[in-house]
Each structure stands twice: as structure tokens, then as C-alpha cells.
Chain A
Amino acid sequence: MDVFIQLLINGILLGSMYAIISVGLTMIFGIVRVVNFAHGEFLMVGMYGAYLLAAKFGLHPYAAAVPIVLLLFAMGAIVQRFIIQPLLSADEHIQIFATVGLSTALVNLALLLFGADLYAVPASSVQRTVMVGGFSLVIGQIVMFVCALALVAGLHFFMQATPLGRAIRATAQNRTAALLMGVRVDRIYVISFGIGAACVGLASALVMPLYPVSPTIGTYFVLTAFVVVVLGGMRSMYGAFFGAMLIGIVDSLSGYYIAPDLKEVVYFAIFIAILIFKPTGLFGLGRGTE
């Protein structure tokens, strides 16, 4: 029983990392209606950024979070403005190819600059484990869990209570109507894409002390994030949050009870089943095939 509870805790803590990445992905899909296949590479860029700041200036990744979040916001905004925006009315397959191409270019750029080696930041107290009530928790993961909660709460407040948030919600629901009400839709898209990328920036600063970075790290995390987003119903931030927790738990349980190398098979199988049988997501919060 103790093992089971420990696994649940591990799952939730792991899930909070997926939550931060997936909330960003949901933001981009829910508002700009573009599936960002390069989302994982944004994470990779953020992690290399955090690594460089640590290696050159001795900055702790947590302190690097601020510049990294700003950097990623800018990167997301630029991608939206110069790649996605011209393609908004293009065929869907062209949009897919554009973000897939961006992803390929970024992975290989990292490979060119840094090689295939793994880079880690110097060990810090964040990696230490604390015992709470007989269960062991990694400090860095607790921080991530708190940040995930704070991020969802903060975005909730932003979307519900600020004029910009209202404009974003209006754009997400009906682009044309929002345009007629004087919302500058193009600018809303740039901001939304930026926020989505900034979420990944936060994730990369928080992940950096726990995982070494490599060019393909993004692919590894983002496929899981896609599973989470589909599970959560594609458009719902809250759905993405709970979906992330669920995938974290599935990951942790199946790694222990089935086989460590098959845990991805389990959640990809869930992913395919959800896409096929319940495209509105597990909680019925979205519309997947629309």
C-alpha cells in the first residue's frame, strides 16, 4: 500500500511538469487553433538557455526562469507573427508542415551547436529528497507542483478578470465576431502564442535541475504533452491540468507494475483510444474532431 501511495505521489509530481508544458500547448491550440508540433523544441531551447546561463554566469535555473520566460515569450510571438500568421488561412496540412519543419530545424540546430551530448547544470539542493509522513519527495518536483498550481490559477485570473484575457477568450470562441467588436485578432494571436511558449519557458527552467538537456529532449516530453492535451479535451486549460496529473500517475504506476520500458506504450495506447472513442477528451471539455 505504501508503495502504491508513493507511486501516486511520484505520478502527481511528474504530472505537474507535464501540466506546465501542456497548458502552454492548450493555450496555442485553443486560441490560435494551430497544433504546434515544435512545442517540445521550445522546451529544448529554454533548457539550453537555462544551461548556458548556469554555465556562463553561474545562475541557478530558478533565477534563470525570468529571462528564459521572456525569451520564450518573444520566440513564440515571433514564430506566430512570421510563420503561423501568414499561414492562418492556408490548408491545414501546410500549417502542420510549417511547425514540423520548425521542429526539425531547431532539433538539428541544437545538434549542430551542442552535439548529441547530454548537458546538466551543477548539482544543487533542489535534487535532494525530503521525507514527509514516510514518503520521499524531491524538492524540485514539489516546486514544480506549486508552480503548476500557481500557473493555472494565474492564467485563470488573467483570462477571467482582465480585459486582455476577455479579448483572448472572445477570439478563441469566435474569431470573426471578436474582429467585429474591435478586437485586434492578429495581436491576440501573437500574445497567446507568446504566452503558450512562455509556459514552456517556465517548464524548462524548472526541469533543468532535474533532467540533463539534449537536442531530442523536446520530442520526448512533447509527445507526452500531446497525449495530455488530447486527454484534457484540446481546448481546456483545466482539462490539460488534470490530464497531466492522470498521465503522470499512469506513467508512474505502469512503470512499476507493467515494465519500465512499456509505460509509454500504455499511455500512447490511451491516447489512441481517446482520439478514436472519445475525441472530446476524457472530461468532455473539448471537441477533438471538429
Chain B
Amino acid sequence: MADKKFRYNLRDHAADYWERSPKWRRVSLSISFIAFFYALPFLNNPLINTPGSDFQSVLFYPVGMYVLMAIGLNIVVGKSGLLDLGYVAFFAIGAYTMAILGTHTSLNFWEILPIGIALAMVSGVLLGTPTLRLRGDYLAIVTLGFGEIVRIVAVNIEAIGGPRGIAGIPTPPDLFKAKFTILDPKPYYWVLLTFTLLIIWMVRRMAARRPGRAWDAIRQDDDVAQLMGVNTLKYKVWAFVLGAAVAGAGGVLYASQILSIVPDQFNLNVSILILACVVFGGIGNLWGVILGAALLAFTPERIRFLSQPRILVFGIALVVMMNLRPDGILPKKKREHFDPNWKTVEESGEGEIK
């Protein structure tokens, strides 16, 4: 086949390179990557600049925020295979926690953050425990409903501003020398980046251990997972709750940057767009999802100079991409590996068991 010659599988090559690398090279590569992303707001490259909107703001919202939320949703959709169409609800709960507590109490951002995460997690448990017994389409419908309910409740409660939302949300207090002001999105971006790195670290640890195996099993065959002793409901609720925690943290940070929120910011579109990020990047593949979210968030800003037709261009680009790479940019594919220690044992029953 002619195309086989030209097909250079970047992901496999990158993974091979990483696996072959000694520890010092992995550490230095990781440090340079992380440093690059912390320095990103200072990068004034015409290629990635966003004419028509402030590049530093774009880095925080939508790019950084989408990446964070996509990582969170990927735990639910990608790892455990639960289709959640109401993910924005947890984002809204985080944002409203910041808005309400920030305007009515003297608590600051850092004190509200754990409360927002906790409330999002509690709502994850409350929604998840009864509904995660449902499967597939039914779960999707229930979560879709939940996402809308949270928004509609916010619209209808006058005490939290009703449709006008809440304005005058305080900014976080200064941290070291960084001042959080409406004019400078850089500190917010750095906080967001720190959250994101922390969450990537946590997700990777979970994925390689018992929870990761349990989620893999649930996604592939729920019944067999149960019969192999996996408490599937417990691990599904955990996936839901962890996803909710990530969105909740994002919501708190978002509200403290944007300073005023209205319920309509948390509509179904956000849920769908985050899900699109996950699917576009490659369901279940952490790096794919991050790349997908960054691209989906960045592209409309990059082509803002096209003004109205930009959404059309964006849509066409999306359709073309999904045709070229139907499994996402970096599809999840487990790589097989061999260890020379696993010498061939031809006859069945060579070993002993206790």
C-alpha cells in the first residue's frame, strides 16, 4: 500500500522514544515542557497569536479552562465509559459557590476553593448514586436533565440573582508577588496551569492502579466486571465525583476571574463542547484529550479576524478532522509490550499455584 510508506505514526514513535529514555532525560523533558507552558503568556509568536482577542486572556479562557474540564470529563466518559451530557452543572456549582460565598461572606478564593470542590463532589454523589445504575443512553438523558436543572434553578432563584446572575465577585488575594486583577489574566492562567498539572498527575496515578483497572473493566463489560469482584457502582460514582471535583475547581477559578456570572453561561452548549473536546482529541487518551481541548478552544479565537464566518470555518474544520481521524487526534490504543523475563512456557500447567 502506497500510503503505508508515508504513514509515520507520531504517537507510537513518541511513546517508544519516551520508553527508551533514561530517567534524566524524562525529567529534563518534563521540566522543559512545564516551563514552556508557564512561559506561554509571554510568547508573542505571530503563529499562535490571536488577533482580535487578548492572547493572555484566551490562554486562561477558553483554552486552559477547556483543557482542565476535558481532563475531568475524560475520567467519566473516557476512562469509565459513562456518557455525561450535563457536565457543565458541576462547573456551575463551583462558579456559584465562589460567587455566593465571595459576595456574602469574607471568605477569600483560597478558602472557597475547597468548599466549591466539596459541593461539586457532593452533588456528584447525589446525582451519581441513584442514576449510575442506568446504562448508556438512559444515563446520558438523566445527566442532560441534571445539567439543565441546575441552570434553570439558578435562573429562578431571585436570592442568587435570578437571570441577572451575580456581579462583583472578589478576585483572589495576592499570592507571592502575583496580583490577581481583571486587567492581568496571567496569574489566573498560572493557577489554572498548576491545577491542571496536579490533576494530570493524579489521573495518571489512578489510571495505572486499581481504580484504572476497575474503570477499564467497567467500560469494556460491566457485567463481567461485577462478576470479577469489581464494585462497579462504587467506582462509577468515584469517576463521577472526581470529574465533578475537577469541574468544580474550574468553576471557582473561572468565577473569580470573570467577576460576574449569569446562569446562561452554563448552558448545554458548554457540556457538548467539552464532550466534543474529549471525542475530538481521542476518548480515553489523556494527552489526546488535552490536545483536542486546546485546539478546539484555540481555533475559533485564532480565526476571529474572519468575524461571523469563523464558526462556519470552525465547523468545517471539525467535520474534516473527524473524517480523517474518526477516533480522534490521538486515539486511545493500548500498546502491547514484551518483557524478556516472560520466557515462553509452551505447556499448560508449567507453574505452580498456591
| Real binding pair | no
